[in-house]
Structure 1
């Protein structure tokens, strides 16, 4: 699997050099007034422009951020909330650090714009939830994009939220699941290395995943039967 950093470099080689815009031109491209653009700068919603004497030069990164601001405002986010989200993303982990370079993985990363992430978790992409996802290592940043480390985890999280479970509680549960998953991975790795060598780990990996899936399924069976029995006896 081609690593994330190499993919990004390939995209950058294919892209044309970023354009630069003067203040009036950027405002026109974004469909806002110069006054609004300057207001966003004062609120630190935009990173500083490149200065050339008294001239301010903006680029496509600023244009993408302005379009994100417009999309989030349409979804009911406040400017204060957008500023906090932007700050959290600007200080988030780079996706290359998050995924590692050339490390083994069976997970498919997903690239999202901030507005696409907000659309998946309608009304629940708060600063606190975003910080929790960044701390978990679920999210990384790559320029103007957000990268979720796993399509499967993203889809499951979104499905649980659609069922009415708050995203904050989904992320809190994910923290506990992570601790148990790390312990299971250590158990499996220790068992295999006690009797074989490291070259067998990738080949036997599906066996570990199968055992965990089966045991979780059986545990859920027990919980469901217990709930059913408790309901009949009450």
Structure 2
């Protein structure tokens, strides 16, 4: 414990307090010896970084609970499944920087539930660089992260329906099964229709 506290730049008393609050996992014990590892040190550095960003200990404890109850990265990403999205590895403090002031236990739990985030040891993995960047841009424009996540939940319902429609269409009419070559065409149709739909909505005057 003394060695860990020294490496983390905190007092033993502070370390004991963090243990009592459940902010760090218990050590591995061999007889009367308690062994701490790199993951304990990484957790302490994360706590320090989040405190510097204005998070309270209560908030950090809630974040840790949501983080530890999240799904493993292998469960979310799958093994060997085709994808055009690039996952992004983040530390908890880096995620806090992306969405300054918006990384609450509630938002983190929602993102974990939707499968946008997964856990891999002490790291957080976002399933899509594009979704991460767009979500952060919306938050910077003043849209609350909770609203962005709810919009993502609704978009997924429609996206699943569109995917089912096009996969059925391409399966039925593509004799040689060139699904990957036809996939960009389906995406172009959806993008064009969405663009025209937004044009129609923007031309419609708002209701009083």
TM-score (normalised: structure 2)? 0.97
Q: 2:84 aligned to 82, 106, 111, which one?
A: 106
**Secondary structure of the structure 1 residue equivalent to 2:109:** helix
2:149 corresponds to? 171
Distance in 1, matches of 2:176 and 2:76, equals: 23
Distance in 2, matches of 1:159 and 1:86, equals: 25
Distance in 2, matches of 1:182 and 1:69, equals: 38
Distance in 1, matches of 2:135 and 2:40, equals: 30
2:170 corresponds to? 192
Distance of aligned partners of 1:35 and 1:211 in 2 relative to their CA distance in 1, 3 Å threshold? same
Tell me how far 1:171 sits from its aligned partner: 0.3
Q: Deviations over 1:28-84 (max 9, x none)?
A: 110000010011000000011001222211000000000000000011111111011
Distance in 2, matches of 1:152 and 1:133, equals: 15
Aligned residues: 208
Tell me how far 1:199 sits from its aligned partner: 3.2
2:112 corresponds to? 134
Tell me how far 1:196 sits from its aligned partner: 2.4
Is 40-49 or 191-200 further displaced after alignment? Answer: 191-200
Does residue 208 (structure 1) correspond to residue 186 (structure 2)? The answer is yes
Distance in 2, matches of 1:198 and 1:166, equals: 46
Q: Hey, which bits of structure 1, 4+ residues long, moved more than 3 A? A: none
2:61 corresponds to? 83
Q: 1:219 aligned to 190, 197, 201, which one?
A: 197
1:15 corresponds to? none
**Secondary structure of the structure 2 residue equivalent to 1:81:** helix
1:92 corresponds to? 70
2:121 corresponds to? 143
Give 5+ residue unaligned stretches, structure 2: none
TM-score (normalised: structure 1)? 0.86
2:22 corresponds to? 44
Does residue 159 (structure 1) correspond to residue 137 (structure 2)? The answer is yes
